[in-house]
Amino acid sequence: MAELTTLESLLEMGFERNRAEKAVANTGNQGIEQAMDWLMEHENDPDIDEPYVAPVGNTLGGTAASQSSTEQAKLEDTTEAGGDSSLIVDATGRSQPMTEDEKREQVKRLEELMRVKQAERRERERAEELEREKQRRRQGQELQQIRQKLQDDDMKKLADQRRKEKMEDKLARQRVKEKIARDREERAQKFGGGGSSNTVASFQPVQPSPPSPTIQGPPPTKKEYEESRIQVRLLDGSTINTVFKAQEPLAAVRVYVQMNGNTPEGQDFTLLSPYPRHVYTDLDMEKPLKELGLVPSAVLVVTKKWPLLLLLLGLFSTLRLLALTAQRPQLLVLL
């Protein structure tokens, strides 16, 4: 059975002449399979349908170049003879007619080959698309991991910062407590130094006197208290309780109220005993609790401290009223 040339086979399969000529020329007339591969790879080129123009002075080397030139000359002869594609060129260079069955069989074989090539191409494109999809998913997973890592690092930094702030607050509170404790010790040493000898003396054992026939036993000694439990009623009616040393000054109680009470900032206040009623002055703040009679327990009330100007105005009004009543006794009757 006579074989069709590569160019004729492509034309029989329905390819445009410009495309077929370019495929044959660019593959060096190496066969139908190479030409079909080239067509499928370059089918989307913008100049695929433009007429093929051989470069001037271009000589394809080897047998492939001679075959391409021979086939081009044969193709031109065939075109000049009327475009009869049923004539083929045998090995001796003579044209022989091809039967219809041979043409159909040749075209059928080429179409089958083309289907195989197209199937291989689709399979290759699917594999490439699948690989691209896998690559895209891998990149997405890597990006998600990077984002998660950055988020974890941010959360870790935030947790470390909060831990550091809590530790700093804890240390600050500890320093305040230590300072309060030192102040208490200093006040106790400053204001309770004189009373320490008395306290030591009070704890010395009393030598019992020899029993006499008329005395049944020694009189009971008064119990000495070293601590005082103080209850403070604040401005809003709530109370706080704490224990102080008996030799601590009343100023320690005032400092404790300032630190732990709900007294508004900047509000000056004073302390008083409700029963018997006694308002403690600034001089009383330096006296020990034992000396003020606040041992072993006491109740103090926080009251607002009136400004000195209001006290002076009240005192001036009282004095003026007394002067008026002294001049006119009848005013006293009216009042």
What does each C-alpha distance from 27 to 31, 44, 86, 173 come to in angstroms?
Answer: 8, 17, 24, 88
Average pLDDT over residues 82-100: 52
User: Which value, in Å, is the radius of gyration of the alpha carbons in the chain?
Assistant: 59
State the Cα–Cα distance between residues 117 and 126, nearest whole angstrom: 14
Q: List, in sequence order, the alpha helices (H) in the chain.
A: 6-12, 17-26, 32-41, 62-80, 100-191, 193-202, 250-260, 308-327, 329-334
273 DSSP β-pair partners:
278
User: DSSP characters for 6-45?
Assistant: HHHHHHHTT--HHHHHHHHHHTTS--HHHHHHHHHHSTT-
Res. 332: pLDDT tops 50: yes
User: What is the model's pTM?
Assistant: 0.30
Average pLDDT over residues 202-216: 52
The per-residue pLDDT for 127 is: 92
Amino acid sitting at position 32: I
Res. 4: pLDDT tops 50: yes
pLDDT digits (tens, 9 = 90+) for 276-318: 888 999 889 999 998 988 988 999 999 887 666 556 776 777 7
Q: How confident is the model at residue 267 (pLDDT cuts 50, 70, 90)?
A: confident
Q: Which of 85-94, 223-232, 258-267, 272-281 has the lowest mean pLDDT?
A: 85-94
The rounded mean pLDDT for the chain is 76
Closest by alpha carbon to 17, among 8, 4, 29?
A: 8
The per-residue pLDDT for 80 is: 40
Higher pLDDT: 115 or 87? It is: 115
Average pLDDT over residues 44-55: 81
Torsion angle, CA of 275/277/280/285, rounded to 10 degrees?
Answer: -20
Chain Cα centroid distance, residue 157: 8
Torsion angle, CA of 47/49/54/58, rounded to 10 degrees?
Answer: 50
Q: How confident is the model at residue 212 (pLDDT cuts 50, 70, 90)?
A: low
Q: How confident is the model at residue 211 (pLDDT cuts 50, 70, 90)?
A: low
The per-residue pLDDT for 202 is: 44
Q: Which of 31-40, 215-224, 300-309 has the lowest mean pLDDT?
A: 215-224
Q: How confident is the model at residue 153 (pLDDT cuts 50, 70, 90)?
A: very high
Q: Residue 9 in contact with residue 106, Cβ under 8 Å?
A: yes
State the Cα–Cα distance between residues 297 and 303, nearest whole angstrom: 20
